[in-house]
Amino acid sequence: MSVHLLRFLTHMGGWFVDIFVEYLVRVIARTIKRRGSGAWPVAQATVTSSTCPKATYGCNVAEVYYTYRVEGELYTGVNEEPFIYHHSGENYVSNFAPGREFTVRVKPGYPLVSIVREVDQNNSFVPSGEAAGVLKAK
């Protein structure tokens, strides 16, 4: 095997390892953020937009932006779902067309924190995962 081929394979292998490492870090962070959220009250959310930009480095991250109301006040959130393959992320966001409604969990006493949980959905359009939303609408 030539030195150039070996360098190429080593470099490409490192790139793939980086993707998997970032993916695992994101999955672990999501899991930690959602601890205890199963007991939080629910709210109906509405998708405002969704996208899965192609990553130039690391894993692809699908983003679903949504709004929800707590005691009449409007909040926004974002559900960030990591994917190793870009087409999987695109498939995920295709289920979140603007105007689509779904269920979120809202942190008691801190309504600007919301979590999307697959188990809370009464249909199958949320294929996997959950993430925290932390933005408040004006």
Reported as a single tens digit per residue, the pLDDT across 73-94 is 999 999 999 998 889 999 999 9
Six-digit token pair at 126?
């949320």
Number of domains in the chain: 1
Confidence bin at 19 (pLDDT 50/70/90): confident
Q: Say how far apart CA 54 and CA 85 lie, in whole Å.
A: 9
* 121: in domain: yes
Structure-model confidence comparison of residues 72 and 85, the more confident one: 72
Q: Which domain holds residue 55?
A: 32-133
**Which residues, 6 or more positions from 128, have their beta carbon under 8 angstroms from its beta carbon?**
81, 92, 118
Q: Which residue in 74, 91, 77 sits closest to 126, CA to CA?
A: 91
- One-letter identity of residue 84: I
Q: Which tokens belong to 53?
A: 């930009």
Burial code (b: 16+ CB inside 10 Å, e: under 16) for 74-99 equals: ebbbbbbbbbeeeebbbebbebbeee
Residue 55, pLDDT > 60, answer yes
Would you state the structure tokens that stand for residue 54, as one six-digit string? 């192609």
In a domain, 15, yes or no: no
Give the residue-averaged pLDDT of 103-117: 95
Beta carbons of 114 and 45 less than 8 angstroms apart = yes
